[in-house]
Structure 1
Amino acid sequence: MCGRYTLTADEQAIMEEFGIEKLVHEYEPRYNIAPGQKVLAVIQTREGKRAGMMYWGLVPSWAKDPQIGYKMINARSETAHEKPSFKRLMAEKRCLIIADSFYEWKKTESGKQPVRIFPENRSLFAFAGLWDHWKTEDEERFTCTILTQEANEFMQQVHHRMPVILPKEQQEQWIEPVKWSSDHAHQFVEQLTMEDLDAYSVSTYVNAAKNEGPACIEPLVEE
């Protein structure tokens, strides 16, 4: 799964990397992004790319209770094209969820050790995401979820699942403003090449979602 990540880059770097003309005013660097919070996502319409803040935790347009979002922070890429909550979104509402690392907790003899993980050869990347628009008479939300997959050999040392990281050259294709079949979207993800990752242990300070700031990503000093 993917339950916590970071986006510490400045606005200009993000705009240049993803070809965005402007970011939304709510953007600020984050060191400990947690479910239920707003995250930076990019979609593409026929008029061009749009960057905006969405709540992390998908609330399907037909849902009665927005609290369902806390149960839908991730979608398994192997089955999302078959599930009622995700099938339509795989075909029509794909997005980039911008990040520069993610956290996972590795089981050790002394307990769970948080680890910061990131691509070896680039500083910014995008998770493959799905989004939806939920609205009632009193409230409106744009929400998203991160696709996950079986861990590659590197990640298996930490956890058996990992987020789907889009290769740079296929980010544009994932959000192209055309309707796919859900099966086509599934095949697209299945055929993605996994890039090399790197990682280091960080302090348990990151365990609490309320904790924020550069201390979250400082390498753990072994005693």
Structure 2
Amino acid sequence: MAGRFALTATPEQTAAFLGLAELEEFPPRYNIAPTQPVLMVLAGPQREPGSNLPDRQAMLVRWGLIPAWVEDTREFPLLFNARSEGVLQKASFKTAMRHRRALVPASGFYEWQQSGSAKGQPYWIRPRRGGVVAFAGLIETYSEPGGSEMDTGAIITTEANAGIAHIHDRMPVVIEERDFARWLDCRTQEPRHVLDLLKPAEPDFFEAIPVSDLVNKVANTGPEIQESGIVSPQAEKPRRQKPGADENQMSLF
């Protein structure tokens, strides 16, 4: 699964990569965690001939998708990941997969190599070529009981490639730049037309760097969490899980 990631590129670099006219200023973010706001990009409104409107739009989304049909969020697990194998069938994701596919810009992500019941060794996993990548994302707008609306989202994951399978069996889906338009096009490209994009990245696409356990704490947000480091094995008590929650997700509150 992808439970933490980073976006340290500048707004200008990020906008150029995603084909956006511009982005508002934002600081480097080294330890993005579920429930925090994340930047996602959607296809923009359909343009009239000769219009100067951008064909892609950026928005801040709460990381943790809540389907529109949820009545009580306190009883619903936090869906920060969506497994690619079930996005067409699972009720939580199929509407977003049809109508609100998105790109999630990132400089890389973190994953933990499990060791028994312990959290294990964390790794900073980044593209070998550097720069920004785009994860496949889904967006759902949730209407709260009080009438306000909240945009929520998830990152789609797939089976890990040979390069990082020794660390974890899942990884985020990376959408290549040449496929941005097809992935975002929810008007003419049905979900079944883009399933071929939900595949692991090439085995040599990422490099994995062992880092210290500073990344384990959400409060640690500086560049030092990406410095190389080794964590000594420690026993850890298994966490309690809410009934019905997916073991690869987190509880909502």
Matched, 1:64 2:63: no
Residue deviations 1:160-198, cap 9 Å, x none? 1111111221122211251533333334425x7536211
Matched, 1:133 2:132: no
Q: Which runs of 5+ in 1 are unaligned?
A: none
Match of 2:125 in 1: 117
What amino acid does structure 1 have at the position aligned with 2:171?
M
Residue deviations 1:49-83, cap 9 Å, x none? 11111000001122223456752100110111111
Match of 2:86 in 1: 79
Structure 1's 96 and 23: CA in aligned 2 closer, same or farther, altered over 3 A? same
What amino acid does structure 2 have at the position aligned with 1:20?
L
Q: How does 1:164-183 map to 2 (within 5 A)?
A: 164-183=173-192
CA contact (8 A) 2:161 2:201 kept: no
* Dislocated runs of 4+, deviation >6 Å: none
Match of 2:217 in 1: 208
TM-score, normalised to structure 1's length?
0.89
What amino acid does structure 2 have at the position aligned with 1:120?
R
Match of 1:160 in 2: 169
Sequence identity (%): 34
Mapped partners of 1:179, 1:66: distance in 2: 33
More strand by share: 1
More helix by share: 1
Match of 1:100 among 107, 117, 121: 107
Q: How many residues align?
A: 221
User: Offset at 1:117?
Assistant: 0.4
Q: Which runs of 5+ in 2 are unaligned?
A: 48-54, 232-253
What amino acid does structure 1 have at the position aligned with 2:40?
A
Two-structure CA RMSD over aligned residues (Å): 2.3
Structure 1's 15 and 159: CA in aligned 2 closer, same or farther, altered over 3 A? same
Larger radius of gyration between Structure 1 and Structure 2: 2
CA contact (8 A) 1:39 1:53 kept: yes
Residue deviations 1:141-162, cap 9 Å, x none? 1111011111110111110111
163-172 vs 98-107, which moves further = 163-172
Mapped partners of 2:197, 2:75: distance in 1: 27
SS at match of 1:205: helix
